[in-house]
Amino acid sequence: MKVLVPVKRVIDYNVKVRVKADGSGVDLANVKMSMNPFDEIAVEEAIRLKEKGVATEVVVVSIGVKQAQETLRTALAMGADRAILIEATADVHTDIEPLAVAKLLAGVIKEEAPGLVLAGKQAIDNDMNATGQMLSALLGWSQATFVSELAIDGDKAVVTREVDGGLQTISVKMPTIVTVDLRLNEPRYASLPNIMKAKAKPLAIKTPADYGVDVAPRLTVVKTTEPAGRKAGVKVASVEELIAKLKDEAGVI
């Protein structure tokens, strides 16, 4: 079974985000970029399935700017076999919307025919949490979102999902789209020899036109602003003082 994993290049998890002065978005020029953390978990799970003999090949796909090649090389260094980059924009500030991404991925899937797609549940830049569900809808496949445990059993997958009040187990028909949550696994670091080896692995470059997809946005950004700040309050010296403040000053207990 072939496993396909979409990966996104996003601002690094630890970088302090700055809103651009003109309000058009967040400043991404000369900022450290990394693989979306949820996508790392998806890549790790795909590699583990290959190590267990469940998967035969792991193909990673990224959609965005040409610099996303670095993100794909990271996935190849972790252990993916092959990469596809769809260069959809030359501007690092252009975020291709989940609907367009899902349409492009659907095009890739028609060519590649994977048995399973493993995706991150959300990207930490636009926080939309949508691409996996949209892709599943476009393909008419089953979907398993926010997954913290995955077991493939022939023509179905049994998954544990992180839901509002706890956990839910469902069984989905293969092929399926799984979006992964934090606790599915802990992604590995690529070793130096594997980073060197990854440079020789195949990376195909495509364009949206190859899949006949229009990536024009449906949403127009009117403005981007800093959130209203919160001021630091006072330090209290003791538990008694804290309780007194909460009772008498704030009136919340």
Site for other proteins in 135-194 (CB under 8 A): 135-138, 141-146, 148, 158, 161-173, 181-183
Among 139, 144, 137, 128, smallest CA distance to 181 is for 144
**117 part of the interface to other proteins, by CB under 8 A:** no
Cβ proximity of 95 and 126 under 8 Å: yes
Cβ proximity of 211 and 108 under 8 Å: yes
Residue 37 CA to residue 26 CA, distance in Å, equals: 19
| Cα dist from 193 to 44, 75, 200, 230, whole Å | 18, 14, 12, 47
Residue 85 CA to residue 71 CA, distance in Å, equals: 10
> Which of these segments, 80-88, 188-196, 197-205, 229-237, binds other proteins (CB under 8 A)?
229-237
Shortest distance in whole angstroms from residue 92 CB to other proteins: 15
How many chain residues touch other proteins (CB under 8 A)?
78
**238 part of the interface to other proteins, by CB under 8 A:** yes
Residue 15 CA to residue 114 CA, distance in Å, equals: 34
Shortest distance in whole angstroms from residue 209 CB to other proteins: 19
Here's the x/- map for other proteins, 81-100, by CB under 8 A: it reads as ----------------xxx-
Residue 199 CA to residue 99 CA, distance in Å, equals: 31
Residue 167, SS3?
strand
**31 part of the interface to other proteins, by CB under 8 A:** no
Query: Which residue in the block uniquely carries the two structure tokens 């058009």?
Result: 24
Of 44-83, binders to other proteins (CB under 8 A) are: none
> Which of these segments, 45-53, 67-75, 76-84, 125-133, binds other proteins (CB under 8 A)?
125-133
| Among the listed residues 196, 204, 209, 242, the single contact to other proteins using CB under 8 A | 242
**Which of residues 37 and 57 has its CB atom nearest to other proteins in the complex?**
37
